C-alpha cells in the first residue's frame, strides 16, 4: 500500500494538514474495533500488525514506532518506514504473543499517534478477552467467525462461497428414481440452483427406514443404468451433483449386518437398542474404517459426485467394543472419532474437489474438529422460518454464516405455522442457502419469486457468508428481528428485517445500522421498494448509523431486505 492508498484507507482528505487516525487493520478511533486488532499468532508465537495513517506535509520523514505493554517497553523507538504522499503504511513485525500492547508511531516531533489494546494469540481465545474487555458478544462472534473461516475451514480464506443447493428429500422421501429426480433437477436449474442433491433411498433395499443401511450399492430397480445418466443430466443443466450417505449406521435388515453382526457397538449378552430402526457401526474398529473408506471412495471415483451430505441420525447406546478387551474398551470414544476423521481426511486427499456437509440429527455434530474436514454443517432439523430466527441467532454466536445450512421448506411446517415464501427465503438467505421444497407443488408465482430471491442472494452471498455480522434486533427481545452483514472491503452491506406480529397499528421500529463508514455515501436498494418509508437513493454512513432506516413492516410475518453499496 502506498501513501495515497493509505490516506484513502483512513478516510482523510489530503488537503487536511493534521494527524489522522491510525489503524491496525481496519481500526479507526471513533469506529468499532474489528478483528484485526486481535492478531493471530504464527508458529513462532508472533504476529505482524499493519499500521496506516496520515501526516501531510511531511513526505520523506521517517516513521518511528514503539511498542509497550504497561510500563514495559517491548520495542523501543526505531524506524519502520517513511511518509509518502502525506501518509504512511508500515508493518510492525514479530510482535510476541501476549498483550495488551500499545503501538505508538511518530513522524516528526508533532505527529504522534497510538493504538491501544492490541492482542496477539489465538483468535478463538482472544474473542473471550474481547468480550470481557467491553467490546461485546458481537465483536467476540466476529472474531470467532474470522478465526473459523481463516484457520479451520478447508480452503481457509480462499474457500469459495457455498453454492445454492436443492435437496430432493421433501419432494420424494424414499421414492427416488431417475425420471423423478430429473424432473426436479430441471425445475431447480430454472430458478438458479447450483447444486442438486439426491437424498436417502437410492441404495440397497432402501424403500423405507427399516432396511438397506450399510448396503451402499445403487438400487438397480430405481436406477437400472446406475447413477451416471442422472449425474450427466444434472451436470448438463449447469449444476453439480451431490448425494446423501450415512456411513456410520446400519439396519439390522441389511446384508452388511447379516454378514458382520460383530461390527456394531454392543455389550455381549445385552439387547442392541435400535433407534430409527438402525444400529451404530463401531468406527473404532479398523476393519470397519477400511470398509467405509472403500465404499465411499468407490462411489465418488465411479461417479462425478461433487458433494456428500454425511448424515448420522441417532444417539449412542451400548457403546461396547468387546474385541478390544477390558483394558482398551473405554478407548472406543477417541478411536471412533479419530477413525471418522481419518476416513474423511483420506477421502478428501484422494478427491481434492469433493465437498462434505456434516449432518447429524439436526446440529448434533457441529464443532471445530469436524469443521476442519467439512465445508458446511446442518444447523437443525427444524426449518420452520420463525423458529429459525432464534436457532440461527444462537448458532451465530460461535459459527460463521458460511457453514450454516439454511433451507427454504414447505409450509405448514413444524408448529403447523404457515409463513410467506419471501419470509422463508429471507430467513434462509442469512446463511448458506438451500431449497428443500417439493417443487412439483409450486405455482408459477412461487417459481417467479424464488428466481428473484436466488438472483438477489447471489449478489450478496460473499457479504453474508464471509462478511461481518451485526445482530441489530434480537427475536428473543421483541417482535422485530434485524441482522446486518458488512463485506470485508466495506463496499457492500445488506440488512434483513422481520416482523412477527403488528399490534394496534404500531409502526415497526426504526433500524440503526452498524459497521459503516460515517463519511461514506451508500446507495440504498431495497429488495421491495414499498417497504422503505423514506425514498432514499443514497445516504451517508452517519445517517444510516444514527438516524437509521424507517421500514414499513406490517401485519404478521412481514419481511424485507435492503442492499447498501458504497459509492464514495
98: left (phi > 0), else alpha (psi -120 to 50), else beta? Answer: left
Task: Give CA–CA dist 420/411, Å, rounded.
Answer: 9
User: What does the DSSP assignment read for 466-505?
Assistant: HSEEEEEE-TTSSSEEEEEEE-TTSSEEEEEEEEEE--TT
Task: Give CA–CA dist 105/114, Å, rounded.
Answer: 6
For the record, the C-alpha cell of 245 comes out as 450417505
Q: Quick one: how far is CA 379 from the chain centroid?
A: 10
In sequence order, what are the residues at sequence separation of 6 or more whose Cβ sits closer than 8 angstroms to the Cβ of residue 262?
323
Which candidate in 42, 345, 381, 489 is catalytic? Answer: 381
| DSSP tag of 419 | -
Look up 311 and say whether it is catalytic. Answer: yes
Q: Which long-range contacts (CB under 8 A, 24 or more apart) does 254-260 make?
A: 254/204, 254/205, 254/211, 254/212, 254/213, 254/214, 254/215, 255/204, 255/214, 255/215, 256/214, 256/215, 257/214
Longest alpha-carbon distance in the chain:
86
In sequence order, what are the residues at sequence separation of 6 or more whose Cβ sits closer than 8 angstroms to the Cβ of residue 224?
178
Burial (0-12, 13-18, 19+ Cβ within 10 Å), 503:
exposed
Tell me the three state secondary structure of residue 434.
strand
**CA-only gyration radius of the chain, Å:** 27
Task: Give CA–CA dist 20/23, Å, rounded.
Answer: 10
Look up 287 and say whether it is catalytic. Answer: no
For the record, the C-alpha cell of 63 comes out as 516513521
Whether 242 and 198 have beta carbons less than 8 Å apart is answered as: yes
Nearest-CA neighbor of 459 among 537, 563, 568? 563
Nearest-CA neighbor of 303 among 230, 355, 376, 374? 230
Which candidate in 200, 311, 375, 558 is catalytic? Answer: 311
Q: Where are the alpha helices (DSSP H) in 307-384?
A: 332-350, 368-371
For the record, the C-alpha cell of 313 comes out as 441420525
Q: How many CA atoms lie within 13 A of 568 on its CB side?
A: 5
Whether 485 and 538 have beta carbons less than 8 Å apart is answered as: no
Whether 198 and 222 have beta carbons less than 8 Å apart is answered as: no
- b/e for 189-213, b at 16 or more Cβ within 10 A? bebbbbbbbbbbbbbbbbeebbbbb
In sequence order, what are the residues at sequence separation of 6 or more whose Cβ sits closer than 8 angstroms to the Cβ of residue 412?
418
Tell me the three state secondary structure of residue 108.
coil
Q: Give catalytic residues, as residue numbers.
A: 311, 381
Amino acid at each position: 500500500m502506498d501513501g495515497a492508498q493509505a490516506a484513502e484507507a483512513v478516510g482523510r482528505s489530503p488537503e487536511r494538514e493534521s494527524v489522522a487516525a491510525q489503524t491496525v487493520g481496519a481500526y479507526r478511533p471513533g469506529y468499532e474495533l474489528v478483528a484485526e486488532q486481535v492478531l493471530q499468532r504464527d508458529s513462532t508465537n508472533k504476529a505482524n500488525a499493519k499500521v496506516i495513517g496520515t501526516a501531510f506535509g511531511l513526505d520523506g520523514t521517517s516513521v518511528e514506532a514503539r511498542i509497550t505493554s504497561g510500563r514495559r517497553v517491548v520495542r523501543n523507538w526505531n524506524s519502520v518506514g517513511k511518509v509518502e504522499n502525506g501518509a504512511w503504511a508500515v508493518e510492525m513485525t514479530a510482535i510476541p504473543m501476549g498483550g495488551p500492547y500499545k503501538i505508538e508511531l511518530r513522524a516528526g516531533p508533532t505527529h504522534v499517534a497510538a493504538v491501544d489494546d492490541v492482542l496477539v494469540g489465538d483468535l478463538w481465545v482472544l474473542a473471550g478477552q474481547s468480550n470481557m474487555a467491553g467490546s461485546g458478544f458481537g465483536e467476540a462472534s466476529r472474531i470467532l467467525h474470522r478465526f473459523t473461516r481463516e484457520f479451520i475451514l478447508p480452503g481457509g480464506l480462499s474457500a469459495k462461497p457455498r453454492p445454492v443447493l436443492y435437496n430432493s428429500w421433501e419432494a420424494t422421501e424414499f421414492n427416488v428414481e431417475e425420471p423423478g429426480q430429473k424432473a426436479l433437477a430441471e425445475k431447480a436449474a430454472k430458478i438458479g440452483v447450483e447444486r442438486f442433491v439426491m437424498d436417502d433411498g437410492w441404495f440397497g433395499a432402501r424403500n423405507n427406514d427399516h432396511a438397506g443401511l450399510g448396503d451402499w450399492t445403487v438400487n438397480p430397480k430405481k436406477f437400472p443404468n446406475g447413477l451416471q445418466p442422472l449425474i450427466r443430466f444434472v451436470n448438463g443443466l449447469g449444476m453439480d451433483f451431490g448425494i446423501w450417505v450415512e456411513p456410520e449406521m446400519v439396519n439390522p435388515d441389511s446384508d452388511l449386518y447379516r454378514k458382520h453382526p460383530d461390527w456394531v457397538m454392543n455389550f455381549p449378552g445385552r439387547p442392541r437398542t435400535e433407534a430409527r430402526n438402525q444400529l451404530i457401526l463401531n468406527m473404532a474398529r479398523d476393519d470397519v474404517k477400511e470398509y467405509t473408506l472403500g465404499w465411499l471412495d468407490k462411489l465418488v471415483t465411479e461417479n462425478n459426485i461433487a458433494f456428500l451430505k454425511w448424515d448420522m441420525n441417532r444417539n449412542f447406546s451400548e457403546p461396547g467394543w468387546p474385541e478390544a478387551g477390558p483394558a482398551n474398551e473405554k478407548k472406543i470414544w477417541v478411536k471412533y472419532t479419530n477413525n471418522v476423521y481419518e476416513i474423511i481426511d483420506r477421502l478428501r486427499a484422494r478427491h481434492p474437489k469433493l465437498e462434505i456437509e456434516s449432518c447429524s440429527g439436526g446440529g448434533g455434530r457441529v464443532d471445530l474438529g469436524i469443521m476442519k474436514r467439512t465445508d458446511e454443517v446442518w444447523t437443525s432439523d427444524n426449518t420452520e422460518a420463525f423458529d429459525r430466527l432464534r436457532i440461527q441467532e444462537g448458532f451465530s454466536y460461535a459459527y460463521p454464516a458460511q457453514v450454516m445450512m439454511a433451507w427454504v421448506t414447505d409450509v405448514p411446517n413444524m408448529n403447523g405455522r404457515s409463513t410467506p415464501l419471501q419470509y422463508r427465503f429471507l430467513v434462509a438467505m442469512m446463511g448458506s442457502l438451500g431449497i428443500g421444497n417439493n417443487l412439483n407443488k409450486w405455482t408459477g408465482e412461487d417459481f417467479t419469486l424464488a428466481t428473484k430471491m436466488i438472483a438477489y442472494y447471489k449478489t450478496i452471498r460473499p457479504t453474508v457468508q464471509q462478511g461481518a455480522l451485526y445482530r441489530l434486533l434480537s427475536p428473543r427481545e421483541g417482535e422485530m428481528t434485524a441482522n446486518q452483514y458488512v463485506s470485508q472491503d466495506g463496499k457492500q452491506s445488506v440488512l434483513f428485517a422481520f416482523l412477527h406480529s403488528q399490534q394496534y397499528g404500531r409502526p415497526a421500529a426504526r433500524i440503526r445500522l452498524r459497521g459503516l463508514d460515517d463519511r461514506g455515501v451508500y446507495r440504498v436498494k431495497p429488495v421491495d421498494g414499498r417497504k422503505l418509508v423514506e425514498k432514499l437513493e443514497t445516504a451517508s454512513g452517519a445517517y444510516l448509523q444514527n438516524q437509521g432506516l424507517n421500514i414499513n413492516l406490517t401485519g404478521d410475518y412481514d419481511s424485507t431486505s435492503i442492499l447498501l453499496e458504497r459509492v464514495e
